Amino acid sequence: MPLIIGLLPFLLLGVIAVVGKNFADKGGKLAIGGLALGVMLSSYQFTLLGEQALIWETSWLEVGEINLTVGWQVDTLTGLMCVLIYGISLLVFVFSLAYMKGDPYLVRYWMYLCLFVGAMLGIVLSNNLLQVFVFWELVGFSSYLLIGFWFEKDAPARASQQAFLVNRVGDIGFLLGIFATWLLFGELNISELGSAKASFDRMSEAWLPACGVLLFLGCIGKSAQFPLQLWLPDAMEGPTPVSSLIHAATMVAAGVYLLARISVIMTTEVLTVVAVVGTLTAFMAAIAATVQWDIKRVLAYSTISQLGYMVMGIGVGAYEMALFHLFTHAFFKCALFLAAGAVIHQLHAAGHEADPQDLRNMGGLRQSMSRTFACYLPPALALAGLPLLSGFLSKDGILLGAVDWAEANGGMLAWLVPMAGFITAGLTAYYVGRHAWLIFGGKLRTPAWAGKISDAPIIMLGPIFILAVFSLWLPWSWNPLDGSSGWFIELIGLSEPAHSDNHWWVGGVSVLLSLGGIAWASLRFRQAAQKFDAPQNGFRQLAFTHFFQKEMYQYAFVKPVLWVKEILAWFDRRIVDGVVNGIAFITVNKHWPYSSLSLVAARFDAVVIDGVVNGIAKSAASMGRRLRHMQSGYLQAYLGIAIFVLLIIMLIFNLFLPNP
């Protein structure tokens, strides 16, 4: 069963590759049908799961002492992830049907999407790190293909390469981490790492943290954490459904999922690093999101920020809550992206007078796209973290975990983590409010579009609506104010949920901060005739460029490489060419008195080298004259000689080699 679930997308990929071009929608309905089957299968599998995880594995290759296995492991978390991946992918596929209509390379699009989904399922189902790594790379590769789907344009091609290269950096860390894990535990099986660590005590001081940090590097790359987060905003160059898939279920979730799975081997120091990196990422990205003008970039930075929350949650030990946030975030972020896609699509249809992705050109769409607005609002408020919505449940849990962690660890520095978390919550509400006001509030700021904008078709709205329902609190927990009593935590939770005394004030503060953020945003962006050419002060620029990250990489890595290139070119031109020219000058210049080198060489050539060459030729000729009699032309004579020589060789071997 897990095998079918894991291989179904690859099967679809093959089918679409072969017969896809014969259909009007290039195999889209085929893919959707396959995914619907996948949803059913994975839900059925989920109902079958009991306390015991389904584990199957077989030997893959044996090299000496090393015995590597392949297999899968399906426990509650994996089962849920399968349902999530299939469910979200299905909705995104349905949305794509309308969004990508008429694209000339639609067959390729469906194929890549299937590959993407299959690779992600592979990561989730694999039971050992090496197999995870294989699918991990496959996810990276298919995201590269999808981000660069419109590769004729310059920006997507560059963005896809950037995503690929930045991910490589993390992947190298991950691979080294796998090596280190093998070295330390002799075990790559995820489910057995915990017991392997328990029985492990030698050289733990130095190597165990290193191993944890290296594995975390893989997560940093894939889940866009500091300092490798710059690829994610640029990945917005891909088609919008792809962005939503990347952000919701198939790519960035991989890092967090893996981190949760391997957090058993992380030591306290590593977890602190994880928490700090997550907090830093969440905070930086939230600031960057407050000043972006691209409708998708705001969401991209918000994804980075929310991923930072999840990583922080794992770092502070609230890893059930982090996974809970992964799930709720998957739904509302996917809905937001699809809503943004619907807006872009409708504005694009309204005319090409202005950039349909620029927030400055929008405004007032709640009248013309009222149904889209209705579907957009719940997920947006969930992202802002208002109560009665799913985002509140999980984000609150993570913040609570951070507060508990800071309390347990003590010290002023530890409190920085929850503090930054709270500030980020306020910032999140602010940029969500800004996003909503700029798109839907006020009046339309592009006169050319007036009256031409129509609401999105039902095939787009349907998926968004379903996702929006899942961003309410009810699908997750009966109690709208406390996520830890929901079914999700009960299913996933290995430990008893801690009933902390901090719960009420943490929830209260985060709600107040969210409301404050939204209020501030509505005060600033309510007016339609807002002037957007605000002075580019230092802070604004810092935030817009995401702390000059790209520039820093440019200076730290790209520029030095170019400098080295310049230096090498200079060295080549001056030194190497100079030496070569100098030698030529010495040897052939007639006017220079010491240029006899070439003359000496010529004499040497004529006498010694020619002599040797001719001598060899002559001796060969005389030998040939003597041996030509052997070439009788009779086959059997040749054979006889061959057998005779063979006998002699055998005799020699018998005589001179010691008998065993």
Least Å from the CB of residue 619 to another protein:
24
624: contact with another protein by CB under 8 A: no
Nearer to another protein, 562 or 642 (CB): 642
643: contact with another protein by CB under 8 A: yes
List the interface residues with another protein, window 54-113 (CB under 8 A).
Answer: none
Bridge partners of residue 57, in order along the sequence: 71
- Scanning 233-241, 438-446, 576-584, 627-635 for contacts with another protein by CB under 8 A, the matching segment is 627-635
Nearer to another protein, 370 or 632 (CB): 632
Nearer to another protein, 596 or 632 (CB): 632
- Scanning 126-134, 299-307, 610-618, 632-640 for contacts with another protein by CB under 8 A, the matching segment is 632-640
649: contact with another protein by CB under 8 A: no
Nearer to another protein, 519 or 646 (CB): 646
- Scanning 409-417, 486-494, 605-613, 638-646 for contacts with another protein by CB under 8 A, the matching segment is 638-646
Question: Residue 359: which residues within 8 A CB-CB, separation 6 or more?
Answer: 292, 293, 294, 295, 298, 435, 438, 439
Least Å from the CB of residue 650 to another protein:
13
Query: Nearest 5°: phi and psi at 20?
Result: -55, -40
Residues 518/510, Cβ–Cβ less than 8 Å: no
Residues 122/135, Cβ–Cβ less than 8 Å: yes
447: contact with another protein by CB under 8 A: no
- Scanning 19-27, 350-358, 619-627, 639-647 for contacts with another protein by CB under 8 A, the matching segment is 639-647
By CB neighbour count within 10 A (0-12 exposed, 13-18 middle, 19+ buried), where does 92 fall? buried
594: contact with another protein by CB under 8 A: no
Least Å from the CB of residue 641 to another protein:
10
Nearer to another protein, 199 or 636 (CB): 636
Nearer to another protein, 558 or 637 (CB): 637
Mark residues 236-255: x for contact with another protein by CB under 8 A, - for none.
--------------------
Distance CA 140, CA 163 (A): 8
List the interface residues with another protein, window 480-499 (CB under 8 A).
Answer: none
653: contact with another protein by CB under 8 A: no
- Scanning 95-103, 423-431, 601-609, 634-642 for contacts with another protein by CB under 8 A, the matching segment is 634-642
Nearer to another protein, 634 or 656 (CB): 634
Distance CA 374, CA 508 (A): 27
- Give, for 62, the enclosing helix (H) or strand (E): strand 54-63
Nearer to another protein, 66 or 630 (CB): 630
527: contact with another protein by CB under 8 A: no
Bridge partners of residue 68, in order along the sequence: 61
Distance CA 458, CA 499 (A): 44
Least Å from the CB of residue 64 to another protein:
25
Least Å from the CB of residue 631 to another protein:
7
Residues 453/346, Cβ–Cβ less than 8 Å: yes
User: Residues 66, 635, 655, 657: which binds another protein (CB under 8 A)?
Assistant: 635
Residues 416/372, Cβ–Cβ less than 8 Å: no
Mark residues 345-384: x for contact with another protein by CB under 8 A, - for none.
----------------------------------------
634: contact with another protein by CB under 8 A: yes
Q: Which two tokens stand for residue 452?
A: 């031409």
**Side chain identity at residue 508, one-letter code:** G
User: Residues 620, 639, 645, 648: which binds another protein (CB under 8 A)?
Assistant: 639
Residues 370/322, Cβ–Cβ less than 8 Å: no
Least Å from the CB of residue 636 to another protein:
5
Least Å from the CB of residue 643 to another protein:
6
Distance CA 275, CA 536 (A): 33
What single string gives the DSSP state of each residue in 145-176?
HHHTTTTTSHHHHHHHHHHHHHHHHHHHHHHH
Least Å from the CB of residue 655 to another protein:
19
- C-alpha torsion sign, points 119, 123, 127, 129: positive
**Side chain identity at residue 260, one-letter code:** A
Residues 305/281, Cβ–Cβ less than 8 Å: yes
- Scanning 105-113, 423-431, 482-490, 628-636 for contacts with another protein by CB under 8 A, the matching segment is 628-636
Least Å from the CB of residue 626 to another protein:
18
658: contact with another protein by CB under 8 A: no
Nearer to another protein, 4 or 648 (CB): 648
Least Å from the CB of residue 637 to another protein:
9
Least Å from the CB of residue 642 to another protein:
10
Query: Nearest 5°: phi and psi at 126?
Result: -60, 145
Distance CA 238, CA 228 (A): 19
Going by C-alpha positions, the residue among 199, 388, 425 that lies closest to residue 309 is 425
Nearer to another protein, 411 or 633 (CB): 633
660: contact with another protein by CB under 8 A: no
**Side chain identity at residue 359, one-letter code:** L
Q: Which two tokens stand for residue 282?
A: 């969440």
Nearer to another protein, 531 or 628 (CB): 628
Q: Which two tokens stand for residue 103?
A: 């694209």
Q: What burial letters (b/e) apply to 119-134, b meaning 16+ CB within 10 Å? A: bbbbbbbbbbbbbbbe
Nearer to another protein, 40 or 643 (CB): 643
613 C-beta neighbours (distance < 10 Å), count: 10
Nearer to another protein, 195 or 631 (CB): 631
User: Residues 478, 622, 631, 645: which binds another protein (CB under 8 A)?
Assistant: 631
User: Residues 636, 654, 659, 660: which binds another protein (CB under 8 A)?
Assistant: 636
Residues 138/186, Cβ–Cβ less than 8 Å: no
Distances in Å between the Cα of 296 and the Cα atoms of 71, 194, 226, 419 are: 38, 40, 20, 28
Distance CA 200, CA 468 (A): 46
Distance CA 500, CA 317 (A): 14
Q: Which two tokens stand for residue 389?
A: 């919505």
627: contact with another protein by CB under 8 A: no
**Side chain identity at residue 79, one-letter code:** G
Q: Which two tokens stand for residue 312?
A: 């922080």
146 C-beta neighbours (distance < 10 Å), count: 27
- Scanning 139-147, 356-364, 486-494, 633-641 for contacts with another protein by CB under 8 A, the matching segment is 633-641
Nearer to another protein, 614 or 631 (CB): 631
The residues that touch another protein, with contacts defined as CB under 8 A, are 631-636, 639-640, 643
